[in-house]
Amino acid sequence: MNGWRGHLAVCIASAVLLIGQGSIATGQAAVPERANPNAPRTEPDHFYVARRGDAFEYAKIPVNSVDAESRVLVWFLGVRKGGPAVRYEDGLSTGTLTCHDDCQFVLGATTAHGKVTHIGRIRVTNDPLIYAIMRDAQAGRLSRR
């Protein structure tokens, strides 16, 4: 008898949990109210914070007090292999980023002190700074005006 009652209690608790989420009541998965897929998406006119000659300045996301005032300079190189390409300078590091796979990824190469320190493919959404730079490049906001 105790095993049967325990099984029934688990079934009732599971049903209450699902009803609370709205799955059983509506037949659909619960969606947070703030997530409205039909709402218009607002994006700024551009993500860069300033211009310096033909370069665009981007603010780094501060990780510590050293990065708080740090800026990355970006130059638009044009379209390469079907996607926009940029050159950047971040302190002593320089490199290039080229959109790949409809700009879901970038192919990047970084050098420091004249030596290649990193080559690879990065998902654009994994890095807010790369996302901002490549969104501006894709949208044509980094043209030399």
Which of 6-15, 35-44, 58-67, 114-123: highest mean pLDDT?
Answer: 114-123
Same structural domain for residues 77 and 123? yes
Residue 7 φ then ψ, to 5°: -65, -40
Per-residue confidence band for 43, with pLDDT thresholds at 50, 70 and 90: confident
58 with 32, same domain: the answer is no
Q: Do 62 and 131 share a domain, yes or no?
A: yes
If asked whether residues 23 and 1 sit together in one domain, one would say yes
Q: Is 95 a domain residue?
A: yes
Q: 16-20, 42-46, 116-120, 140-144: lowest mean pLDDT where?
A: 16-20
CB-CB contact of 55 with 123 (8 Å): no
The three-state secondary structure class of 18 is helix
Domain check: are 9 and 59 in the same one?
no
Does 113 lie in the same domain as 67? yes
- The tally of domains found in the chain comes to 2
Higher-pLDDT residue of 15 and 87 is 87
Distance (Å) of CA 62 to CA 68, 69, 129:
5, 8, 11
Q: Compare 10 and 86 and report the one with higher pLDDT.
A: 86
Q: Which residues constitute the domain of residue 96?
A: 50-138
**Structural domain includes residue 107:** yes
Cα(93)–Cα(117) distance, rounded to whole angstroms? Answer: 9
Query: Do the domain assignments include residue 143?
Result: no
More confident position, 82 or 94: 94
CA-wise closest residue to 131 among 50, 68, 77, 74? 74
Residue 43 domain-assigned (yes or no): no
pTM of the predicted protein model: 0.67
Same domain for 81 and 13, yes or no, is no
Same domain, 61 and 102: yes
Indicate whether 115 pLDDT > 50. yes
The answer to whether residue 42 sits within a structural domain is no
Question: Both 25 and 61 in a single domain?
Answer: no
